[in-house]
Amino acid sequence: MNKINQLFAQRGDRKFLSLYFCAGCPTLEGTGDVILTMQRRGIDFIEVGIPFSDPLADGPVIQGAATQALKNGMTLQKLFHQLMAIKDDVEIPLILMGYLNPILRYGIEAFCQSCVEAGVSGAIIPDLPFDDYQNIVKPIADRYDLRIIMLITPETSAERIRFIDQNTDGFIYMVSSAAITGAQKSFDEQKQEYFRRINQMNLRNPRMIGFGISNHQTLAAAQSNAAGAIIGSKFVTLLNEAEGDADKALDRLFEALSEPEPNHLTI
């Protein structure tokens, strides 16, 4: 069974925490250490960013990380090589997140094959048109048991959401807003209503909420309305500040996510 499906099948009432970081930032050779440290510290699954020169959906923090990674010399080929080196030590699902252009240059089938060889369970491709996913990418990915995770936003229609739900597997990435990535202090009532509306649809796939999660308030809102939360910009910032020391970055992240009041949700 694909590790993503296995993780969600076994979750019960547990709420998951997924972290994103950009491969090759802040250091070219740090990818494996960051992944293994996150696994050791209890992160449920990891999104590894493929750096790209024109990341349209990303805010300044992740754009900056991608720029630094490219300057450091990170490529998709190097990333797969780094993942291969730690494959036997990684037990949690790894998901590659990147834009379509580098994947097309690498080749769709070659990409899927390399993912499986490197222990990757899924991919998120924000600019992949759904028709191309269904007609071109999905048949290839299915042969390699690779999950292609699709995104929904507050502007996605109910009809479209149900269509995505029926034609994907693994989980649905529920973007908290239509804006670019970046930390937020809280989710306003409009976002909360969006969360409740999707909850009431009783979708087949579990959902993970991402974009803007950086503290206890946003984490609690996400985890109470989905299977868990995805944190990107906040962790990327902390990892940069810690000069690639993932343990230090995680210490600071867990502190930021912890509830100041006792007897509440803790990480």
Active-site positions read 47, 58
Which tokens go with 245? 């020391």
Let me know: does 249 contact 74? Beta carbons within 8 Å: no
Q: What's the token pair of residue 155? A: 């502007």
CA 55 to chain centre: 15
Both tokens of residue 25?
A: 């930032």
Query: Token pair for residue 193?
Result: 């209503």
Cβ neighbours around 14 below 10 Å, total: 13
Beta bridge partners of 122: 95, 147
Question: Among 84, 122, 125, which residue's Cα sits nearest to residue 104?
Answer: 125
Residue 200, judged by CB atoms within 10 A of its CB (0-12, 13-18, 19+), counts as exposed
Q: Which of 250, 254, 246 is nearest to 26 (CA)?
A: 246
Report the distance separating Cα 196 and Cα 179, nearest Å. Answer: 19
